[in-house]
A and B are shown apart, each in its own frame.
Chain A
């Protein structure tokens, strides 16, 4: 069964196509990374997947239109657009999303190491801490599909590694299909089991070692791209 099935997806803002006839599938339980240069349509793809913008083509999530299964889809945004000096605790933020906390709430907070952060203010969290809170928030929906928009942006290397481990745990242990936008090519090469390369159209799609060739990287980022597939993490 496919978790996501995208057929001939085209999104245009004015005369310019931001995504042009993109087709791919992500199998249930998969962990896919979407890569591409700035302006390649990655975030637009997520907005279309979430039903936030109009598009042409077909998108099915677990064989249904996303509207019908939105309650089982979780999303971790790249940034928050609010006055971060306002005092909102992690506990309060979680309650905004989940007025009735699920039974698994304690277990999720333990797994994501969010328990100790609950009295802290959202605006005072480090990048890594905030991403853990957002993952905990997402898991409380008991999702079947988790969409992450550049989750490790602005986090140091150690924090980034810990974050990817947590996402791997969510994928493998909870059986949640994960699709993430990332700029960290070397990290996702080792971590994801499917790479989707976008540059308005679909440039590559498949397992990392097959999809990420030097030609593909040159097509995405130019001939000087810094990609070392065998680098140690």
Chain B
């Protein structure tokens, strides 16, 4: 174990996992509160267009995907307000168009693309220092913003009109929330991939709900479950040479089942 921890790629994986686990777990509370789990899925798939554009233009695919996802997050928030279209329909439009654009762009790139496989299924062990710096900068900025404004965002998600009367700029905070979820989702793609990234937004908070008796507890337990999920997934994937992202998701599901069983057992007793 000590030998493993001495390896630079394992160190980078641990730092990235702990940071993004906390970030996605905290944002997951708002995603579940607003019932918008589909948003992160949609953004993750649509970001394929950014990844493809980056590969095609020989630019950093992560930065391209981050830029595109921020624009898409703001666009979805704007369309929801202005076009009077249901949220899931708007996300469905963006989701499929982004994915389709990504597929078309990739058709222009010849040969095997290892980076593309990483983006589809994630590979935390392949994270570079440069990517880690990007994750740390965006992740910490989002966490600081959330710490300062979580009360306003929560009120907005509970009832927009009530938030408006309380002086919350609903349009601005809704856009900010969507952009933050979009950015965090793309950052999480390196861990779990486009296909599985929403697991880190949904699983920790869903498990934490089973044992929390307040919003504060929900935030603390969500982060704890997310870190357990990341660390257990990382440990077992290295131990048994399994795909890391998928192992993390299975670890998350195991924690959920275990917590659910313990809770059920207690309520029966």
Determine whether the beta carbon of B217 is less than 8 Å from that of A80: no
Determine whether the beta carbon of A87 is less than 8 Å from that of B217: yes
> Whole-angstrom distance from the CB of A69 to the nearest CB of chain B?
11
* B4 contacts across to A, CB distance below 8 A: none
Proximity bits, A95-128, B CB within 8 Å = 1, else 0 = 1110100000000000000000000010000000
The B5-55 residues at the A interface (CB cut-off 8 A) are 29, 32-35
Does A93 sit within 8 A of B, measured CB to CB?
yes
Q: How many A-B residue pairs have CB under 8 A?
A: 70
Q: Which of B61-69, B119-127, B155-163, B233-241 contacts A (4 or more CB under 8 A)?
A: B155-163
Determine whether the beta carbon of A93 is less than 8 Å from that of B158: yes
Complex CA–CA separation, A50 to B166 (angstroms) = 11
From A71, A81, A87, A97, B214 is in contact (CB under 8 Å) with A87
Given known A80-B158, A96-B155, contact A86–B209 (CB-CB < 8 A): yes
* A74 contacts across to B, CB distance below 8 A: 165
From A71, A87, A96, B218 is in contact (CB under 8 Å) with A87
Determine whether the beta carbon of A50 is less than 8 Å from that of B151: no
Does B82 sit within 8 A of A, measured CB to CB?
no
The A52-73 residues at the B interface (CB cut-off 8 A) are 52, 70-71, 73
Determine whether the beta carbon of A97 is less than 8 Å from that of B161: no
* B161 contacts across to A, CB distance below 8 A: 47, 50, 52, 75, 77
Determine whether the beta carbon of B165 is less than 8 Å from that of A50: yes
From B159, B160, B165, B209, A87 is in contact (CB under 8 Å) with B209
Does A16 sit within 8 A of B, measured CB to CB?
no
Does B266 sit within 8 A of A, measured CB to CB?
no
Proximity bits, A126-152, B CB within 8 Å = 1, else 0 = 000000000000000100000000000
* B32 contacts across to A, CB distance below 8 A: 83, 86
Determine whether the beta carbon of B34 is less than 8 Å from that of A96: no
CB closest residue in chain A, given B166: A97
Does A216 sit within 8 A of B, measured CB to CB?
no
* A77 contacts across to B, CB distance below 8 A: 159, 161-162
Interface-centre pick from A71, A81, A97, A141 (highest chain B CB count, 10 A): A97
Determine whether the beta carbon of A88 is less than 8 Å from that of B209: no
CB closest residue in chain B, given A122: B158
Interface residues on chain B, number (Cβ under 8 Å)? 27
Complex CA–CA separation, A71 to B158 (angstroms) = 19
CB closest residue in chain B, given A43: B161
Determine whether the beta carbon of A92 is less than 8 Å from that of B216: yes
CB closest residue in chain B, given A47: B161
> Whole-angstrom distance from the CB of B159 to the nearest CB of chain A?
5
Does A224 sit within 8 A of B, measured CB to CB?
no
Complex CA–CA separation, A47 to B167 (angstroms) = 15
* B154 contacts across to A, CB distance below 8 A: 88, 96
Given known A87-B215, A87-B218, contact A99–B164 (CB-CB < 8 A): no
> Whole-angstrom distance from the CB of A222 to the nearest CB of chain B?
30
The B136-158 residues at the A interface (CB cut-off 8 A) are 151-152, 154-155, 157-158
Does B212 sit within 8 A of A, measured CB to CB?
yes
> Whole-angstrom distance from the CB of B10 to the nearest CB of chain A?
35
Complex CA–CA separation, A93 to B156 (angstroms) = 11
Determine whether the beta carbon of A50 is less than 8 Å from that of B209: no
* B216 contacts across to A, CB distance below 8 A: 92
Determine whether the beta carbon of B35 is less than 8 Å from that of A83: yes
* B214 contacts across to A, CB distance below 8 A: 87-89, 92, 121
* B34 contacts across to A, CB distance below 8 A: 82
From A50, A80, A93, B164 is in contact (CB under 8 Å) with A50
Given known A77-B162, A96-B151, contact A82–B157 (CB-CB < 8 A): yes
From B35, B158, B213, A121 is in contact (CB under 8 Å) with B213
Determine whether the beta carbon of B165 is less than 8 Å from that of A80: no
Interface-centre pick from B29, B214, B215, B217 (highest chain A CB count, 10 A): B215
CB closest residue in chain A, given B218: A87
Proximity bits, A36-57, B CB within 8 Å = 1, else 0 = 0000000000010011100000
* B29 contacts across to A, CB distance below 8 A: 86
* B166 contacts across to A, CB distance below 8 A: 97, 141
Given known A75-B165, A97-B166, contact A89–B33 (CB-CB < 8 A): no
Complex CA–CA separation, A86 to B217 (angstroms) = 11
A/B interface sample: 25 pairs, CB < 8 A: A47-B161, A50-B165, A51-B164, A52-B161, A70-B165, A75-B162, A75-B165, A81-B158, A81-B160, A82-B33, A82-B34, A83-B33, A85-B209, A87-B209, A87-B212, A87-B213, A87-B217, A88-B154, A88-B215, A92-B215, A92-B216, A96-B151, A96-B152, A97-B162, A97-B166
Residues of A at under 8 Å CB distance from B? 47, 50-52, 70-71, 73-75, 77, 80-83, 85-89, 92-93, 95-97, 99, 121, 141
